[in-house]
Structure 1
Amino acid sequence: MKGFLYDLFVPHTHDSADSIDDAMEASTAGVRALKISLFVLLGTTILQAVLVGLTGSIALLADTIHNFADALTAVPLWVAFVLGRRVANRRYTYGYGRAEDLAGMFIVFVVALSAVVAGWQAIDRFINPRPIENPWLLVAAGLVGFAGNEIVAIYRIRVGQKIGSAALVADGVHARLDGFTSLSVVLGAVGVMLGFPLADPIIGLLISISIMLLLWGTVKSIGARLMDAIDPALLERAEHALEHTDGVHAVRDVRVRWVGHRLTGSATIVVEASDLHEAAHVAAHASEHVHEAIGNVDTFTVTPAPPSRR
């Protein structure tokens, strides 16, 4: 159960075997995912906002706030994807891909802020209770919210994994969290119908607390990207590709890092070559092998070195 929940709310940020090779195609796929999910979430939010007015539910209000926040987080991430297409220059020598990771941190901030606002609304409802009207509408609203968010979550996470975007995966996890808070709204409505009116603010408060706790996994994922952490499996794939290149006797100093949803790296290989031209040819061939093994690599520099003499 622990592993299931971890995979559900902290999914891997990439799938090397099914990655998109072309940088522009990957960026286009990310923007398309954000556009579609933005309109789906805005539609869900508008529908729930109407039902908040009809029911007066604080739990549904908390859910609606989260859905609206989730829709808004698509905007800076969209900007980051577009900005990441700009070519590197003398000031930003690695390009603008890091804007995507900064957008991921903004997503984390917005999720945390929305949880705090929803918690404050729940506490206020404890102090100033109000009756819940039309609880059956509340059940319908919760189910609609769950369906809309889960569709968006699946889509964002799959595209994020395919293009290697930690920020887009984080945004998908955010949508998934909102989907489960919508189910909690249903529980609050059932409690009200069973004669327990405080179930609504209690559920609203539990939603806020659970989101803050589950947010930690996303914080670690985005933070790891900012610290240039890499999946060891990716490093092993690069090393394997280099080691199995004709003319390579040893591999040293393999480094790989994420810049947004693209990879860049370098390595030193030991070659037994008769001249510099042959050594450069082996290095170029080794770099091609890395690109074949890891599809979303933009630049991988291979430096040839002679074997040490004793």
Structure 2
Amino acid sequence: MTSVHAHGHGHRHGLSGWLHELFVPHSHDPARSVDDVLEASGQGIRAVTISLAVLALTAMAQLTIVAVSGSVALLADTVHNFSDALTAVPLWIAFALGRRLATDRYTYGFGRAEDLAGLCVVAMIALSAVVAGVESVRRLGTPVPIENLGWVLVAGLIGFAGNEVVAVYRIRVGRRIGSAALVADGLHARTDGLTSLAVVLGVVGIWSGFPLADPIVGLLITLAILVLLWGTARDVGRRLLDGVDPDLTHRARHVLAHAPGVVEVTDLRLRWIGHRLAVQGRLRFPLGTPLAAADATTATVADEVRRVLPAVGTVDLVVTVR
């Protein structure tokens, strides 16, 4: 059997490599360290619970400073941080449902709850964009003096630090358990952290004698949220339509096609069910191949698929001899 290495991509170097790692984090094979769905869901629940607490504390600290400063940029960032914290709630419910066993009604289990949680994430991001945009436009027409600029700057730094801590934690756990939703939510938090730094730029602008910098930065944050909304909605839509990375399909086909005795691979289908990847396919062996030998090869190649692809759950392969 030809073995395919799970690390089939190169490493980027320099500034482009750092930016790629920041927004598209390098993914090691989580199937090597996690082979139990219950354990994976338990880690997911723990990750969203801890990140919810951290983001809630971060947003509350920022909200206190909003009350004494009147900064609309900081308000926009705080609203977004609150919505980001709340995205942990549907994810927590989804992971909890994912631990339940399949039933006669839900024969595939409850992993799809993660996709429904993704819709909730999209809705919350959209709401935060509307609130931040409306308030920023209102302040452009009716400027309000910003007070305690030093505290506003501190709040922006707090927002960045809190979101980056959560981003690193969510992405790390998401990689380990194979949860695309958790990794995406981690990247969401990382983007929020960078918008918090935009608040700091607004403060610097005001200190430089440009009072409209605050609502303008608020609008820039709104645009950043809209960009994030588009990317998140696209990814969630793909998951709902059973979309997978074509590279996963190519890797699975390569492994199956190079199994000893396999003549043809047909009807290969991959789909995400929560944070587990289901693989289905049909393997054709030449006429005269003993069924026992074909079944043994199929069992071996199924293990190879689990080794090569991330977070594989079920591998359902049908054998035909003709």
TM-score between both structures, scaled by the size of structure 1: 0.90
> 5 Å matches for 1:58-137?
58-137=72-151
Instruction: Kindly indicate whether residue 308 of structure 2 is the aligned counterpart of residue 296 of structure 1.
Output: no
Distance 1:251 1:142, change over 3 A: same
**Amino acid aligned to 1:256:** L
Instruction: Kindly indicate whether residue 280 of structure 2 is the aligned counterpart of residue 280 of structure 1.
Output: no
Higher alpha-carbon deviation: 213-222 or 82-91? 213-222
Contact 1:59 1:188 in 2 (8 A): yes
Q: For 2:263 and 2:223, how far apart are their aligned partners in 1? A: 55
**Amino acid aligned to 2:279:** G
Q: For 1:135 and 1:295, how far apart are their aligned partners in 2? A: 47
Deviation at 1:101, TM superposition (A): 0.9
What is the percent sequence identity of the aligned residues?
A: 54
> 5 Å matches for 1:152-191?
152-191=166-205
**Among 215, 225, 242, the residue aligned to 1:201:** 215
**Among 70, 83, 86, the residue aligned to 1:56:** 70
**Among 40, 46, 57, the residue aligned to 1:26:** 40
Deviation at 1:5, TM superposition (A): 6.0
Deviation at 1:8, TM superposition (A): 4.5
**Among 27, 30, 46, the residue aligned to 1:15:** 27
Q: For 1:243 and 1:108, how far apart are their aligned partners in 2? A: 39
**Among 196, 199, 212, the residue aligned to 2:226:** 212
* CA-to-aligned-CA distance 1:190-233 (integer Å, 9 cap, x gap): 11112221111111111112210232222222211111111222
Distance 1:15 1:24, change over 3 A: farther
Q: For 2:310 and 2:181, how far apart are their aligned partners in 1? A: 19
Distance 1:121 1:3, change over 3 A: farther
Aligned length: 305
Which residue number in structure 2 is paired with residue 265 of structure 1? 279
**Amino acid aligned to 1:280:** D
Deviation at 1:245, TM superposition (A): 3.0
**What value does the CA root-mean-square deviation take over the aligned residues?**
2.2
Distance 1:16 1:7, change over 3 A: closer
Unaligned runs of 5+ in 1: none
Distance 1:278 1:21, change over 3 A: same
Contact 1:22 1:296 in 2 (8 A): no
TM-score between both structures, scaled by the size of structure 2: 0.87
Higher alpha-carbon deviation: 277-286 or 123-132? 277-286
Instruction: Kindly indicate whether residue 264 of structure 2 is the aligned counterpart of residue 250 of structure 1.
Output: yes
**Among 243, 250, 253, the residue aligned to 1:239:** 253
Q: For 1:66 and 1:59, how far apart are their aligned partners in 2? A: 11
**Amino acid aligned to 1:39:** A
* CA-to-aligned-CA distance 1:35-90 (integer Å, 9 cap, x gap): 12111111111111111112111111111111111111101110001101111122
Q: For 1:208 and 1:274, how far apart are their aligned partners in 2? A: 63
Unaligned runs of 5+ in 2: 1-14
What secondary structure does 1:192 align onto? helix
Contact 1:57 1:200 in 2 (8 A): yes
Contact 1:111 1:174 in 2 (8 A): no
Contact 1:104 1:168 in 2 (8 A): no
What secondary structure does 2:315 align onto? strand
Contact 2:276 2:312 in 1 (8 A): yes
Deviation at 1:236, TM superposition (A): 2.7
* CA-to-aligned-CA distance 1:110-141 (integer Å, 9 cap, x gap): 01110110111112212332211111111111
Deviation at 1:292, TM superposition (A): 2.8
Contact 2:29 2:311 in 1 (8 A): no
What secondary structure does 1:248 align onto? coil
Distance 1:84 1:159, change over 3 A: same
**Amino acid aligned to 2:116:** L
Contact 1:166 1:225 in 2 (8 A): no
Contact 1:264 1:300 in 2 (8 A): yes
